[in-house]
């Protein structure tokens, strides 16, 4: 009985760990996608910033 109980606890812990790992992978991919999108749209135009700093 004790072996069955420990096996169930291990299975529950393993399932939670796999779920958390999958969530972290999904969030990392989403953050990468958002970073690429922000880089493409450009929060601040570097060309305009350079022109303002140089005074042209």
Instruction: Please give the pLDDT value at position 10.
Output: 96
Instruction: Please give the pLDDT value at position 34.
Output: 78
Say how far apart CA 21 and CA 13 lie, in whole Å: 12
Instruction: Please give the pLDDT value at position 38.
Output: 72
Instruction: Please give the pLDDT value at position 6.
Output: 94
pTM: 0.56
Domain boundaries defined on the chain: 2-54
Say how far apart CA 56 and CA 52 lie, in whole Å: 6
Instruction: Please give the pLDDT value at position 9.
Output: 95
Instruction: Please give the pLDDT value at position 48.
Output: 73
Residue ranges, the chain, pLDDT below 50:
none
Say how far apart CA 28 and CA 49 lie, in whole Å: 30
With b meaning 16 or more CB within 10 Å and e meaning fewer, what string describes 9-43?
eeeeeeeeeeeeeeeeeeeeeeeeeeeeeeeeeee
């Amino acid at each position: 009985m004790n072996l069955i109980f420990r096996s169930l606890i291990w299975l529950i812990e393993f399932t939670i760990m796999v779920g958390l790992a999958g969530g972290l992978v999904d969030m990392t991919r989403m953050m990468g996608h958002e970073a690429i999108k922000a880089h493409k749209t450009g929060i601040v135009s570097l060309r305009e910033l350079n022109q303002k700093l140089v005074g042209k």
